[in-house]
Chains A and B, each alone.
Chain A
Amino acid sequence: MTLLEAVYINAGSWVLFLFGLAFPIYLIFGYMGLTGFKDLTRYEEAKTFYYRLNPLTKIAFTIVLTFVVAVTAWSADLALGLIILVSYLSLRRGFRKLLLGSALAFASVVGLAWTFSTATPYTLIIYAFTRQCLTVAPPTMSPAWLHYFTPLWTWASYFQYWGFQPVFTLQGLLYGLQVSTRTGAVLLAALILVMTSTPSAILRSLGKLKLPIVLIFALVVGLRTVPRIFDSLDTAVKVQFMRGYGSRANKATRVFYLFGGVLSSIVPAMTFLFRGAQNTAISADTRAFRAYKDRTFLTPFTFSREDYILFAVVAALVVFAVVSNIYGFGRAIPYSAVGSSCGATSTA
């Protein structure tokens, strides 16, 4: 290998590696910002479809969706994710939330896809694409190996020490994208619950599921605290900028200073919030919290016409998943109707 080749491989490897890190960071901190995060994690009052649903229905929808995307073809999961995303338009400040949701889902897809595409063992990818169960992959770049893979980039050798496969392949990339696509739909559905239900409504619903009250309360306080975390981080980062941090940043690098600022603000922000958490505990416990194993509620727990509509959607999703699998359009990454040579029917 010539010096020029060595420089080329090293530089290229680092650019690709950093892309996987930097692009999601850019989307999250550069485009969404802490304010965007806050908007995606906070309830705002409205009267449209999602807001009229019982939180329990939304929880059921998210849980069923998680199972459905796990057992159906990635293309269906992508479609589901896009449908949910478009439905964000019905939320209060829907267009902004659609853009923010898209950015967050895309950042999570890119980040996860990059991780899976570079680190998934070849034997697993061969199994996922061909259903052939090899215990050892053929040597890289051998004709047998090229039968399975289309190489895109050979990593600098030391990348293997932190878990990378020797060669970045098209199949690895597809595998990564297909795995990560599944998370997008679930993430977007879960955010709907948070954005369209008040913490106390969630508390009421989870109570009906007989979850321990302490666990439910922890979740509710967590939900209430999330916007405060972003507020605190926002102030802490801006104060750092005021004190000279990122003075030498330009427009392109500013977002990475923002990321660095957030990292160094985590401890003071959390310390600040934990000091407040003590008050929260006192406030709850001195109002008879945990006096009984369950609670009664001011507002009755009811299901509306909208809930039955979403239950119908949930049922349709279940039917869709079952039918897809029966007709060979479900499971596996990517879809393969061919039976496994290992004799197993597990999904990747």
Chain B
Amino acid sequence: MVETGSTEVSLAKPVQVHNLAFNYVGVGRPVLTVDSFHVDDGEVILIIGKSGGGKSTLVNCFNGVIPHIFHGNNPGGVVVYGHVVKETPLPKLSVMVGTLLQDPETQVLNYTVEEEVAFGPENLRLPPEEIRRRVDDAIATTDIEGLRNRETYVLSGGELQRVALAAVLAMKTKMLIMDEPTSNIDPEGTARVFQTLTGLKGKSTLIIVEHKLERALHFVDRVVLVDEGKIVFDIEKSKLVDYVEELHAAGIDVPEHYLYAKRFGMNPSDIDGIRKRIATEGLQLGVPKRDKGGEVILDARSLVEVPGKVLVDAEVTLRERQVLAVMGRNGAGKSTLLKSIMNFLDRQLTAKSTLTVDGVDLSRANIQTRGKHIAFVPQSFDLMLINKTVEDEVSYSLRKRGVKDHKQKTEEFLKLFGLQDFRRRDPLMLSVGQRRRVAMASALSAGVKIVMLDEPTSGQDFYHKEIIAREIAMLKGLGYSFIIVTHDAKFVYRYSDYMLILDGGKKVLEGTPEEVFAVSQRYSVIPPTEYYLRNPQIQIPELGMLGV
């Protein structure tokens, strides 16, 4: 037994928390308050909640990132396998708790996959034979044998995340924490990660922080909702259906079939049964409205190659006031397609593209000229923010293009995006949501009517996705048209008018989401559950493969 404060804790428990009140240095009020919490050996726990609610802070208290990397006042007791976290050095904790983060790009440090997986065991000063054994085991578990000698920087997001998972598994920790491990990867990559995690069930204690409630739910034991720095509920998975109101109140996207499961008193995993019951009851579920749009406003054909390989060979047509979604696996050529339309491609790529916008042939136009007609907001939108104030950022394009009434137009865009109160603030110092709005306003202020968004919902929670959706709807009403590259099938189903799927750089499917989702599984684009609820003729894939 180890003593922490006045409370005795069992050595066997992976996690025990008593009277935790954590606040970051310089922040007066605690950002996380937990009276009591524990994790039992072998449990699989799902932690949910909206961004900024305290989920990551909670798990960072378990793996020692708090207080060893993020400093603050941590008077409460967090004990992991009998070790008081704040008194245990991080390297010592790292042999007990493994951590997988959201962004695989920034957590992979080494050049080859094998080197990356070996990094942890090498730090532990294990003999080369043991390192080899662990590397082989981790590579086998995550099914990345084919990637073993590949360079990490050429891997897709999904592949990279499995490499990161293998690197964590090679530490052979008793507990694994996964902080939104599938936020930045495609549905296929997400399914593969969860497949691996399913295989670990019963062998390790797993704590998963996820926005994708539907994806994780089928194999967890407990669900913990964290909101505003507090644990709102900590329940068995089977009872989740009774807490739908609390989930809604906390801004969590509750799978629609849960609502019907609750109404019919059914098991939420029985989606087929639920949709049959919906049909029996004669319920008419609303179907998202698809706008056919006006005249064709953009017509592009792109052929992008590197020596010996075609990266993109596709054409895109966009109509006025239409939201066109582009989906496909990681590496299918989606972002390259957007970049070729914008003339953003790397010089080493050979591109033969034609582009007509609103009847104007821009095939030979440079970036500046294309930018008069089309705005592109990259996934890393922070890179757009080069000015010292929000106001300067929004007026930048107008000033650079010599627009006379730029002050008036700047005001209009500040108002449109609700940025008046931040006009004097440094854009880089704002919250993620505010920064994204500044990037959007500054992209649109050039007077464009076509907006291309690369992964706008990546890493965003339900609340922020809804804000993005509202903005898009509002702008669509003002005459804007959108091309959106995304992995988010639910977002596409709810908010797009038309969609296309790229595979190997080629357009393989296009049509309304209803038309495309009917056959999209063959290209690893899996429809969301709400699509299956409305289309009883479509066979439902196994639970772990459902699109979210």
List chain A positions with a Cβ less than 8 A from chain B.
33, 35, 42-45, 198-201, 220-221, 224, 227-228, 232, 234-236, 238-247, 264-265, 267-269, 271-272, 275-292, 294-300
**Is B538 an interface residue, CB under 8 A from the partner?**
no
Which chain B residues in 92-119 approach chain A with CB under 8 Å?
92-95, 97-99, 101-103, 105-112, 114-115, 118-119
Contact check, B123 vs A292: say whether CB atoms are below 8 A apart.
yes
Contact check, A298 vs B135: say whether CB atoms are below 8 A apart.
yes
Contact check, B380 vs A286: say whether CB atoms are below 8 A apart.
no
Contact check, A286 vs B400: say whether CB atoms are below 8 A apart.
no
Contact check, B92 vs A291: say whether CB atoms are below 8 A apart.
yes
- Chain A residues touching B, majority SS: helix
B399 contact set on A, CB distance < 8 A: 244
**Given A35-B346, A282-B99, list of 12 further CB < 8 A pairs?**
A43-B151, A228-B105, A235-B383, A243-B371, A244-B398, A271-B382, A277-B106, A283-B101, A285-B90, A292-B125, A296-B131, A298-B131
B406 to chain A, nearest CB (A): 11
Contact check, B122 vs A297: say whether CB atoms are below 8 A apart.
yes
Contact check, A287 vs B94: say whether CB atoms are below 8 A apart.
yes
Q: Nearest CB to that of B393 among chain A residues?
A: A243
- The distance in angstroms between the C-alpha atoms of A260 and B123, with both chains bound, is 43
Contact check, A33 vs B347: say whether CB atoms are below 8 A apart.
yes
**Is B2 an interface residue, CB under 8 A from the partner?**
no
- Stretch of B6-14, B62-70, B214-222 on the interface side: B62-70
**Is B243 an interface residue, CB under 8 A from the partner?**
no
**Is B241 an interface residue, CB under 8 A from the partner?**
no
**Is B390 an interface residue, CB under 8 A from the partner?**
no
A44 contact set on B, CB distance < 8 A: 151
Contact check, A286 vs B128: say whether CB atoms are below 8 A apart.
no
- The distance in angstroms between the C-alpha atoms of A271 and B287, with both chains bound, is 42
- The distance in angstroms between the C-alpha atoms of A254 and B123, with both chains bound, is 48
Residue among A45, A198, A272, A277 making CB contact with B382, cutoff 8 Å: A272
**Is B368 an interface residue, CB under 8 A from the partner?**
yes
B119 contact set on A, CB distance < 8 A: 200, 284, 287, 289
Contact check, A282 vs B107: say whether CB atoms are below 8 A apart.
yes
Residue among B109, B112, B378, B382 making CB contact with A283, cutoff 8 Å: B109
A291 contact set on B, CB distance < 8 A: 91-92, 94-95, 123-125
CB-CB under 8 A for A243 and B131, given A279-B101, A286-B90, A286-B97: no
Contact check, A296 vs B107: say whether CB atoms are below 8 A apart.
no
Q: Nearest CB to that of B400 among chain A residues?
A: A244
A44 to chain B, nearest CB (A): 8
List chain B positions with a Cβ less than 8 A from chain A.
63-65, 68-69, 90-95, 97-99, 101-103, 105-112, 114-115, 118-128, 131-132, 135, 151, 153, 164, 167-168, 171, 342, 344, 346-348, 366-368, 370-372, 375-376, 378, 380, 382-386, 396-402, 428, 442-443, 446
CB-CB under 8 A for A283 and B107, given A242-B370, A243-B442, A244-B400: yes
Contact check, A286 vs B65: say whether CB atoms are below 8 A apart.
yes
- The distance in angstroms between the C-alpha atoms of A220 and B109, with both chains bound, is 8
- The distance in angstroms between the C-alpha atoms of A330 and B315, with both chains bound, is 65
Residue among B346, B384, B398 making CB contact with A268, cutoff 8 Å: B384
Contact check, A280 vs B106: say whether CB atoms are below 8 A apart.
yes
Contact check, B443 vs A243: say whether CB atoms are below 8 A apart.
yes
Contact check, A232 vs B383: say whether CB atoms are below 8 A apart.
yes
B119, B344, B346, B446: residue with the most chain A Cβ atoms closer than 10 Å: B119
Contact check, A241 vs B122: say whether CB atoms are below 8 A apart.
no
A287, A290, A294: residue with the most chain B Cβ atoms closer than 10 Å: A287
Residue among B94, B126, B383 making CB contact with A286, cutoff 8 Å: B94
B126 contact set on A, CB distance < 8 A: 296
- The distance in angstroms between the C-alpha atoms of A283 and B108, with both chains bound, is 8
A298 contact set on B, CB distance < 8 A: 114-115, 118, 121-122, 128, 131-132, 135
- The distance in angstroms between the C-alpha atoms of A86 and B443, with both chains bound, is 46
Q: Nearest CB to that of B115 among chain A residues?
A: A200
Q: Nearest CB to that of B448 among chain A residues?
A: A242
- The distance in angstroms between the C-alpha atoms of A299 and B131, with both chains bound, is 10
Q: Nearest CB to that of B384 among chain A residues?
A: A239
A205 to chain B, nearest CB (A): 13
- The distance in angstroms between the C-alpha atoms of A299 and B376, with both chains bound, is 45
Contact check, A280 vs B107: say whether CB atoms are below 8 A apart.
yes
B139 to chain A, nearest CB (A): 12
A91 to chain B, nearest CB (A): 16
A279 contact set on B, CB distance < 8 A: 101-103, 106-107
CB-CB under 8 A for A239 and B383, given A35-B348, A288-B94, A290-B91: yes
Residue among B107, B120, B367, B446 making CB contact with A288, cutoff 8 Å: B120
CB-CB under 8 A for A238 and B106, given A45-B151, A287-B94, A287-B171: no
Contact check, B125 vs A296: say whether CB atoms are below 8 A apart.
yes
CB-CB under 8 A for A241 and B348, given A200-B119, A235-B378: no
Query: What are 12 A-B contacts with C-beta separation under 8 Å?
Result: A224-B110, A243-B397, A243-B446, A245-B396, A265-B386, A276-B106, A285-B90, A287-B94, A291-B123, A296-B126, A297-B131, A298-B118
- The distance in angstroms between the C-alpha atoms of A246 and B401, with both chains bound, is 9
Contact check, A267 vs B428: say whether CB atoms are below 8 A apart.
yes
B120 contact set on A, CB distance < 8 A: 287-288
4 A-B pairs closest in CB distance: A291-B91, A244-B400, A198-B111, A287-B120
Contact check, A198 vs B112: say whether CB atoms are below 8 A apart.
yes
- The distance in angstroms between the C-alpha atoms of A73 and B376, with both chains bound, is 54
Contact check, B103 vs A282: say whether CB atoms are below 8 A apart.
no
Q: Nearest CB to that of A217 among chain B residues?
A: B109
Contact check, B101 vs A198: say whether CB atoms are below 8 A apart.
no
Q: Nearest CB to that of B99 among chain A residues?
A: A286
Q: Nearest CB to that of B124 among chain A residues?
A: A288
B367 contact set on A, CB distance < 8 A: 238, 241-242
Contact check, A271 vs B428: say whether CB atoms are below 8 A apart.
yes
- The distance in angstroms between the C-alpha atoms of A251 and B125, with both chains bound, is 56
Q: Nearest CB to that of B398 among chain A residues?
A: A244
- The distance in angstroms between the C-alpha atoms of A268 and B386, with both chains bound, is 6
- The distance in angstroms between the C-alpha atoms of A63 and B235, with both chains bound, is 62
CB-CB under 8 A for A198 and B171, given A243-B371, A290-B91: no
A224 contact set on B, CB distance < 8 A: 109-111
CB-CB under 8 A for A288 and B95, given A243-B396, A280-B109: yes
A281 contact set on B, CB distance < 8 A: 69
B93 contact set on A, CB distance < 8 A: 286
- The distance in angstroms between the C-alpha atoms of A244 and B366, with both chains bound, is 11
Contact check, A300 vs B128: say whether CB atoms are below 8 A apart.
yes
Q: Nearest CB to that of A272 among chain B residues?
A: B382
B385 to chain A, nearest CB (A): 5
B168 contact set on A, CB distance < 8 A: 286-287
Contact check, B347 vs A35: say whether CB atoms are below 8 A apart.
yes
CB-CB under 8 A for A242 and B90, given A288-B120, A297-B128: no
A212 to chain B, nearest CB (A): 15
Q: Nearest CB to that of B95 among chain A residues?
A: A288
Contact check, B118 vs A232: say whether CB atoms are below 8 A apart.
no
A271 contact set on B, CB distance < 8 A: 382, 428
Q: Nearest CB to that of A265 among chain B residues?
A: B386
Residue among B65, B91, B370, B375 making CB contact with A289, cutoff 8 Å: B91
B189 to chain A, nearest CB (A): 18
- The distance in angstroms between the C-alpha atoms of A276 and B102, with both chains bound, is 11
- The distance in angstroms between the C-alpha atoms of A280 and B109, with both chains bound, is 7
Q: Nearest CB to that of A300 among chain B residues?
A: B128
A287 contact set on B, CB distance < 8 A: 94, 98, 119-120, 123, 167-168, 171
Contact check, B118 vs A286: say whether CB atoms are below 8 A apart.
no
- The distance in angstroms between the C-alpha atoms of A273 and B480, with both chains bound, is 32
A276 contact set on B, CB distance < 8 A: 103, 105-106
Contact check, B384 vs A236: say whether CB atoms are below 8 A apart.
yes
Q: Nearest CB to that of B429 among chain A residues?
A: A271
